Amino acid sequence: MYDLPPLARFGGLVATGLREVTSDPAALDSEGFWAVVADFEGGLVCARFEDVRPEPVPAPGRWRGPAPEDWTSSLDRAAYTEGVRRIRRRIAAGEVYQANLCRVLTAPLPDPDRADVDQLSALLALGNPAPYAGTVRLPDHGVEVATASPELFLRRAGRTVESGPIKGTGREAADLLEKDHAENVMIVDLVRNDLGRVCATGSVTVPALCAIEEHPGLVHLVSTVRGELAAGAGWPELFAAAFPPGSVTGAPKSSALRVIEELETAPRGPYCGGVGWVDADRGTGELAVGIRTFWIDRAAAGGPVLRFGTGAGITWGSDPEREWDETELKAARLLSVASGAPQPTGGTAR
């Protein structure tokens, strides 16, 4: 295997010099700079680094990615659209109001011994820039993640916490439907409830509701939920209250998770989990929802593979074919970037 030292890269900073790795979220309230990767299924890796310095994302170099046609999906079109129909039946029966249905795409790595997620991040920075982009490279711990996430899961500054759920996606603002706005409001209510479990009574507010954000090739509806942590609450309590992110589960969250377990055929891993950093010395941190996220799985049967997830929120107003098309829209540009194909900065996803 190509020798890859541990590294994390977020927001113009690079962290090197690995000091320790733990699965205990309480470490994030101790000291030092931590990179964090939380799997959707509950696995948590927190890595403390010694050296943190400003450094721009490097120019792409070594990365060789799969061709767009090499990817296979955990759910094909027929299975996915049937899943949408089954969720709509659950909604009609009153079991759930909304559920996020996802599929995991997998492709063999053409040159696994030289595959470096930091180089993939460099490609993503050029072809699909994102506000919460980052890299976590811990090969000895089975974590090699490159994210181009547009979505804030949790931001913390002292006692103030904030979440930025995304619900509603289209090629342009005119594509967004009443269903998209209803879905966003539904998830905002869920996130308010999640943060309310660990925030001081009356402190949870919604400074922005259903704002339109433009990203390469598509637009999103984004809301902001903010609160003040209650006395005694820290990162462990935040994770317990808010994980997994509401925007990629559904409402009610417990019911949606049961539907997800029944319909999805592959674990999501870091996709739809949390990826980011925590500076325990300053009491700050920023975790993205692990969407638009690639990860290398070197333990896969048949050899190392690259994985990527895509999905859509399903409500009673969902059309199965339209929801499949939304998952295709979200994936197309990113898979093209990961293949190494040149991308226009403001191009349109297909």
CA distance 226 to 175: 28
Cβ atoms of residues 85 and 122 within 8 Å = no
Q: Which phi and psi (to 5°) does residue 336 adopt?
A: -65, -45
CA distance 19 to 180: 44
Cβ atoms of residues 132 and 151 within 8 Å = yes
Element (H, E) at 70: none
Single out the catalytic residue among 41, 55, 69, 151: 151
Give yes or no: 321 in active site.
Answer: no
Single out the catalytic residue among 144, 162, 167, 228: 167
Give yes or no: 167 in active site.
Answer: yes
Q: In sequence order, what are the beta bridge partners of 107?
A: 306
Q: Long-range contacts for 198-202 (Cβ within 8 Å, ≥24 apart)? A: 198/161, 198/229, 198/230, 198/233, 198/237, 198/238, 198/240, 198/241, 198/242, 199/161, 199/227, 199/228, 199/229, 199/230, 199/233, 200/227, 200/228, 200/229, 200/230, 200/231, 201/230
CA distance 154 to 36: 12
* Helix count and strand count (H, E) for the chain: 6, 18
Catalytic (active-site) positions? 151, 167
